Chains A and B, each alone.
Chain A
């Protein structure tokens, strides 16, 4: 430790710490603009000057490392004058438009002007005006306000990895600008207004809408991806105005999906009152009328229950209580993204925290578009890459990552068995093996060279496998995961404390869901099949849209046309076309509730926003449903409900009591006995089908958001993509082509792209080509019919 004196106070800090960080760690206030704890040091604002005894001139504290015995002063008359002058320099060209600037009230420049500036500037020469530039749908620029701290430039380089913001010109002609027109193709772009210390970069969608001091902040958890970021939902009255990241949470940023979904909260797509279909259209009714209709549809009927993982743990347990009370034999499905329902050797959830993944010796991504699915984990991997640590990847597409991927292999989903088998052989040669290797290897005849990438990484001391959707939604997922599990066991990456088996879940609460629903869980496809076959009388859909999302859109459509639908949720969406009754449940901004993220981190939201309409927390809707259907209501308060939760999950009772929630992690399930062996394929289609996940389109919330929809259009790819060789082999070229699959013959606009594996049919766009998601194999047969 290095000992130094800050304002005569003795402090100890890690050697190499900067003076500014030493001050921050010891709650000594030093003003700064360009410094940001998550970004590299630029040392250009010169606001953080301090005095060091024996030095002839003031030192910029952000870029000066501490040294033993150093005597630092952060307050003095000369420093006060220096800071006053820095403010005067900065304000020379800064417009005096605070009253109309969105940053006003939460602006560093404004605050420091009051704190350190002179009451009047002396600059009487002409002011500079700067041309604005286009930074995509989420970021508004007003570059005359820019103070050139370059935080945004460093963010684009270091965090987003896009590197598309730069500095042009020099002297006071210096400007920050997008290097290319329409720059900022980043899924993290919404963080730019947050890191801009002034009003140069502002949130575009909420521009000129509200002032910081009108907002109330509600701490909550983002449910838009399994990362479950801490968020602060800012509201004016009962309206959600903005969503921003929370200082000091594990991730300092949030992604555009989690942030700009906010307009969905006040969109027409919300279900704000009970609705009943009358004369072909949904009509607003009161709760008792809606329940009367519900009773007609559900009482003494055979139902299938389908719900989204986006509800709180309390909501999920309430669903389970409702099922137990009303439909004890009903099957439930909460996973629209899993075809193989056999138990997985390691179930959904991460064994490691994201910071452990960042620090591991090796990281291998197996079949996941991480940048779209988990932008913040991707950002961690980028950080790791900058520190010189390798990231390898095997998958069906060369998904854009904005980072250097060390070793990369393109494979088809049908090649996974061969990849794992090849890796097994390689580690066996090194004497690493596990019981079950031989049986698994014996069932696979193919070997794929990509397995070498996997095996090489497994030899390291710590190896984090990020097993993604390509494996999770594989028809033979259980055997693949069993194979990977054997590999990890053989190489010592499956022990407690060094468990690298991370299966990326589809949504939050994955660890909790499998514990709560255990045997009742079936594939969503099974429920649709049962409905279509006339085995069910009705479907209950709780916050889920199986036509817009998931792997069963065609089956879902068929089922929904056959049986009546009771829709319960916050967002109406496309399901409104099918619903006979809609019961409004509160949005995640409006509830007290608990969420578990993919790492097992528990977050409890405690200060919800007032309901916008007649919606009630899901657990209350469930209890009311039980009551009107004539069964005994199991719980009548949140406390009672939480006691019921603890019966399933004792770990949560700790989380509700302890203050440091980060330390209590809920581990994902392990099924030691799961030993599924590889199955041979039976179809003869030559192409494998892979669905693209788009962060701007996936999920009811995202589709209800006009902002995300706009971004989705900007980021859209062709409907269906294949490698040019795939078409060339058939003598075809891009355009309208016929695709044959179990669904029959359909015509799609097929584009080509080099970064798709040859032999893969990549469904890039939902809606148009989404129906193909039902199948795993297809073939292209020729031009338009």
Chain B
């Protein structure tokens, strides 16, 4: 690893080796430090020490919810007589997000190593990577990497003679966005339709096959090797307190150089867009920034300077989410954007909760009408009522995500809607 042990020098963790050619091959990965620290962890660390380091590191889940990982691990009950499962959430379905994909296709061994360490800490015998169905290439790369790891005794029975054994299996999803929600993912992995479960019970207590289960995002697990190698304190010193470490942002939309950028937490939105992404295509300030994937509420130019942290984005009225930043400049048709997102959520609602099942379709149809110039004055109230009473009234957060674009549009750009409605009445 070329990561510096001085936290002040660190700019990248997961993407540290991302540009090395053939890094997905075990031999190349090992030359570059993969699995170097694994024997130390397996032989000299114990579960409590690992969980403690991860707690100290302050890392928060990189999948969207931002729940402290160490805390999540410490919730897993021990000695229940049931197996504990580790599931890697590689469903990466959130529109705008494409970070985990790069880790898996370019540096799969980083993820595998992280999972072995996490598995060891949680006493896991069987771990699964639930990968988005569309990621066929990534699944193939992962499977090859896993096969190589098995051959090198990095997986399977008695890993590197440590006495610890773990199996790792890749399971491909079938294209449902909602399966990125951890309990829907569990249902799907069990072979059932992917529909979220209500909580409690939480997966830590009753998850996969009703056994204790930890579900972590790819990026979270890929950070674990560095945390254990350099220590929790080291990670905690990167970024800013309560928002530690580096974070990969998938930037898309009207920027000149869209792509994945890993930066220390706390870097401002403006810095990321202007210094890393080559600035906007048109104009000097963006019209809309969706900071954490399409499900998060929109920010406008007034929040262009916001530091990219969980806390600051929440203060600004949105979420860091999965770190998928969608940037829209002044050329964007926000009514069309909202209609397109409404279509997505209407298509992806799992259908079990009333408000989401019926509300998402309703929103899409009204937005379609408004966009097509057939709106009417009452539509604004309908859109507002139908979205507000979906959010927070359902088993999972999909409805909240579906409501966010519509509510953001009505809140920040009522004039865009009014213009469309005015055109309709002509």
Instruction: List chain A positions with a Cβ less than 8 A from chain B.
Output: 41-47, 49, 56-58, 60, 63, 65, 81-82, 85-86, 89-90, 92-93, 122-123, 125-126, 147-148, 150, 167, 169-174
Which of A49, A169, A170, A172 interacts with B393 by CB under 8 Å? A49
The reply to whether A172 and B357 contact each other, CB–CB distance below 8 Å, is: yes
Residue B33 interfacial (CB < 8 Å): no
Using A60-B198, A81-B389 as known contacts, say yes or no to A122 and B382 having CB atoms under 8 A apart: yes
Residue B355 interfacial (CB < 8 Å): yes
Residues of chain A contacted by B355 (CB below 8 angstroms):
46, 85-86, 89
Q: Beyond the given A86-B354, A125-B362, could you list 19 further A-B residue pairs with CB under 8 A, ordered by the A residue number?
A: A46-B393, A65-B200, A90-B354, A92-B362, A93-B358, A122-B378, A125-B365, A125-B366, A147-B354, A148-B357, A170-B176, A170-B348, A170-B349, A171-B361, A172-B351, A172-B357, A173-B351, A174-B351, A174-B352
The reply to whether A58 and B392 contact each other, CB–CB distance below 8 Å, is: yes
Q: A45 vs B393: C-alpha distance in the bound complex, in angstroms?
A: 10
Q: A520 vs B354: C-alpha distance in the bound complex, in angstroms?
A: 64
Residues of chain B contacted by A85 (CB below 8 angstroms):
355, 385-386, 389
Q: A45 vs B355: C-alpha distance in the bound complex, in angstroms?
A: 8
Residue of B nearest to A56 (CB): B392
Q: A82 vs B393: C-alpha distance in the bound complex, in angstroms?
A: 9
The reply to whether A170 and B354 contact each other, CB–CB distance below 8 Å, is: no
Using A49-B393, A125-B369 as known contacts, say yes or no to A170 and B359 having CB atoms under 8 A apart: no
The reply to whether A43 and B357 contact each other, CB–CB distance below 8 Å, is: no
Residues of chain A contacted by B357 (CB below 8 angstroms):
89, 148, 171-172, 174
Which of B352, B358, B365 interacts with A89 by CB under 8 Å? B358
The reply to whether B392 and A170 contact each other, CB–CB distance below 8 Å, is: no
Q: Top 9 A-B pairs ranked by shortest CB distance?
A: A174-B351, A57-B392, A85-B389, A89-B358, A125-B365, A172-B361, A171-B349, A44-B352, A170-B351
Residues of chain B contacted by A56 (CB below 8 angstroms):
392
Which of B352, B362, B393, B394 interacts with A123 by CB under 8 Å? B362
Interface of A is mostly: loop
Residue B20 interfacial (CB < 8 Å): no
Residue of A nearest to B369 (CB): A125
Minimum CB–CB distance from B291 to chain A (whole Å) comes to 21
Q: A60 vs B353: C-alpha distance in the bound complex, in angstroms?
A: 11
Q: A89 vs B388: C-alpha distance in the bound complex, in angstroms?
A: 12
Residue B360 interfacial (CB < 8 Å): yes
Minimum CB–CB distance from B264 to chain A (whole Å) comes to 31
Residue B347 interfacial (CB < 8 Å): yes
Residues of chain A contacted by B372 (CB below 8 angstroms):
none
The reply to whether A171 and B393 contact each other, CB–CB distance below 8 Å, is: no
The reply to whether B360 and A42 contact each other, CB–CB distance below 8 Å, is: no
A-B contact pairs, 9 of them (CB 8 A): A44-B353, A49-B393, A56-B392, A58-B392, A81-B389, A82-B393, A148-B351, A171-B361, A172-B346
Which of A44, A49, A173 interacts with B395 by CB under 8 Å? A44
Q: A81 vs B357: C-alpha distance in the bound complex, in angstroms?
A: 18
Q: A58 vs B388: C-alpha distance in the bound complex, in angstroms?
A: 12
Minimum CB–CB distance from A78 to chain B (whole Å) comes to 10
Q: A86 vs B354: C-alpha distance in the bound complex, in angstroms?
A: 7
Q: How many chain-B residues does the 8 Å CB contact rule pick out?
A: 33
The reply to whether B358 and A42 contact each other, CB–CB distance below 8 Å, is: no
The reply to whether A44 and B393 contact each other, CB–CB distance below 8 Å, is: no
Which of A42, A60, A171 interacts with B351 by CB under 8 Å? A171
The reply to whether B393 and A57 contact each other, CB–CB distance below 8 Å, is: yes
Interface of B is mostly: helix
Residues of chain A contacted by B198 (CB below 8 angstroms):
41, 43, 60, 63
Minimum CB–CB distance from A221 to chain B (whole Å) comes to 39
Residues of chain B contacted by A169 (CB below 8 angstroms):
351
Minimum CB–CB distance from A141 to chain B (whole Å) comes to 18
Residue B38 interfacial (CB < 8 Å): no
Residues of chain A contacted by B394 (CB below 8 angstroms):
46
Residues of chain B contacted by A150 (CB below 8 angstroms):
352
Residue B317 interfacial (CB < 8 Å): no
- Chain A proximity mask over B22-39: 1 for CB below 8 Å, otherwise 0: 000000000000000000
Residues of chain A contacted by B360 (CB below 8 angstroms):
171-172
Residue B42 interfacial (CB < 8 Å): no
The reply to whether A46 and B176 contact each other, CB–CB distance below 8 Å, is: no
Q: A56 vs B397: C-alpha distance in the bound complex, in angstroms?
A: 14
The reply to whether B353 and A171 contact each other, CB–CB distance below 8 Å, is: no
Name, among B347, B353, B359, B369, the residue most crowded by chain A CB atoms within 10 Å (CB to CB): B353
Residue B248 interfacial (CB < 8 Å): no
Residues of chain A contacted by B366 (CB below 8 angstroms):
125
Minimum CB–CB distance from B198 to chain A (whole Å) comes to 4
The reply to whether A89 and B354 contact each other, CB–CB distance below 8 Å, is: yes
Q: A150 vs B94: C-alpha distance in the bound complex, in angstroms?
A: 28
Residues of chain A contacted by B393 (CB below 8 angstroms):
46, 49, 57-58, 82, 86
Residues of chain A contacted by B124 (CB below 8 angstroms):
none
Q: A43 vs B362: C-alpha distance in the bound complex, in angstroms?
A: 22
Name, among B348, B349, B389, the residue most crowded by chain A CB atoms within 10 Å (CB to CB): B389
Name, among B193, B354, B392, the residue most crowded by chain A CB atoms within 10 Å (CB to CB): B354
Q: A60 vs B395: C-alpha distance in the bound complex, in angstroms?
A: 9
Minimum CB–CB distance from A52 to chain B (whole Å) comes to 13
Chain B, 373-404, CB within 8 A of any chain A CB: 378, 382, 385-386, 389, 392-395
Residues of chain B contacted by A123 (CB below 8 angstroms):
362
The reply to whether B354 and A47 contact each other, CB–CB distance below 8 Å, is: yes
Minimum CB–CB distance from B174 to chain A (whole Å) comes to 11
- Chain A proximity mask over B264-298: 1 for CB below 8 Å, otherwise 0: 00000000000000000000000000000000000
Residue B421 interfacial (CB < 8 Å): no
Residue of A nearest to B177 (CB): A170
Minimum CB–CB distance from B372 to chain A (whole Å) comes to 12
Residue of B nearest to A128 (CB): B361
Which of A93, A122, A126, A171 interacts with B350 by CB under 8 Å? A171
Residues of chain A contacted by B385 (CB below 8 angstroms):
85
Residues of chain B contacted by A90 (CB below 8 angstroms):
354, 358
The reply to whether A45 and B354 contact each other, CB–CB distance below 8 Å, is: yes
The reply to whether B361 and A44 contact each other, CB–CB distance below 8 Å, is: no
The reply to whether B358 and A44 contact each other, CB–CB distance below 8 Å, is: no
Residues of chain A contacted by B362 (CB below 8 angstroms):
89, 92, 123, 125
Residue of B nearest to A122 (CB): B382
Minimum CB–CB distance from A150 to chain B (whole Å) comes to 8
